[in-house]
Amino acid sequence: MLDYDFMRHAFAAATIVAVVAGAVGYFLVLRSQTFAGHALAHVGFTGATGAVLIGISPLWGLVLVTLAAGLGMGFMGERLAQRDVAIGLVLALALGLGLLFLHFFTAYATQATALLFGNVLAVDVETVWTLLALGAISLILLAVISRPLLFASLQPELAEAKGVSLRLYSVLFLAIVALTTAECAQIVGVLLVFALMVGPAAAALQLTRAVVAGVLLSALLAVVEAWLGLTLAFYTDWPTSFWITALSVAIYLLANLRWPVAIRS
């Protein structure tokens, strides 16, 4: 299987993205912001289609537009109560634009499918390097802000009192989520970003009560799902995105069935 270049690229890309998605996804689920991740992915579709229209790579369209949308969301609403409205507004505008772009996009039907559902087997070396760079940026940024981010997520009122700016970390975190979403879209497509960002994280939160263990487990589960997904896709010839989503759901269900064990950090 690994004799083929495209499989090696696919494994490299999927591993990078899975690690980042697992770690970032843990905080996303912890902060109850999964809707934000979902919305950013949809907004990303608009960016990618727009990018193709003006002749630049869809990945950069994805990155730029999700980033802008993530920052916009962060600035618009810092309070939980306001978040849904802010996200809904951004989403509505983006989907409207996406519809407009799709209107001009009909000639590129395969590319549209690849954006929506991912096409990891078509990833080239250059994309792998880009993903590695983006992934490193996301992970390093997350590592740098993780302590105050955790504090702000668990006890916002107290964190604010201790001098943590809720808005700053909300904006920074959504920027990280935006980058991660754009990366995930390369593997599983914008519609299935949930599979890598939310599935493993939600399962990890069921399986361990400790934060550090939870983040590591979430990343590990995401990698396992990606590898198994690719392997199954290779031998069955079914789409990789299908396998990854199926595994993600299966592992989440298994995690819920199992009696939770507490692992201390």
Partner 1 sequence: MTAIALRDVRLTLGDRVVLDKITLDITAGEFIGVLGPNGAGKTTLMRAILGLVKPSQGEIRILGRPATRGNPAIGYMPQVHGAATLARLNGWDFVASVVDGHRLGLPLMGKAGRAEIERALDRVGARALAQRPLAEISGGERQRLLLAQALIGRPHLLLLDEPLISLDPRHQAEVINLVKSLQRELRITVLFSAHELNPLLGALDRVLYLGSGQAALGTVDEVITGPVLSRLYGSDIEVVRLKGRIFVMSGGHELEGDGHRHDAGSSHSHRHHHAQSGHA
Contacting positions for partner 1 (CB under 8 A)? 29-32, 80, 143-148, 150-151, 153-164, 205-206, 209-212, 214, 260, 262, 264-265
Q: How far is CA 253 from the centre of its chain?
A: 20
Q: Which amino acid is at 192?
A: L
Instruction: Rank residues 11 and 169 by Cβ distance to partner 1 and give the closer one.
Output: 169
* Residue 21 C-beta: closest distance to partner 1, Å: 19
Which residue lies nearer to partner 1 by CB, 4 or 79?
79
Min dist CB 150 to partner 1, Å, is 5
Is residue 251 a contact partner of residue 195, using CB atoms and an 8 Å limit?
A: no
Shortest distance, position 198 Cβ to partner 1, whole Å: 13
Residue partners of 31: CB distance under 8 A and separation at least 6: 153, 173
Q: How far is the CB of 31 from partner 1 (least distance, A)?
A: 7
Distance from C-alpha of 197 to C-alpha of 202, rounded to nearest angstrom = 9
User: 92 or 144: whose CB is closer to partner 1?
Assistant: 144
Nearer to partner 1, 110 or 155 (CB): 155
Nearer to partner 1, 63 or 205 (CB): 205
CB of 70 to partner 1, least distance (A): 20
> Would you say 137 and 24 are in contact if contact means Cβ atoms under 8 Å apart?
no
**Residue carrying structure tokens 């899975």:** 18
Q: Where are the alpha helices (DSSP H) in the chain?
A: 5-30, 34-53, 58-76, 80-105, 109-117, 125-154, 156-161, 166-188, 193-197, 199-207, 211-236, 240-257
CA dihedral sign, ordered 78, 212, 184, 143: positive
Asked if residue 216 lies in contact with residue 242, where contact means CB atoms within 8 angstroms, the answer is no
How far apart are CB 174 and partner 1 at their closest, in Å?
Answer: 16
Residue 120 or 150 with smaller CB distance to partner 1:
150
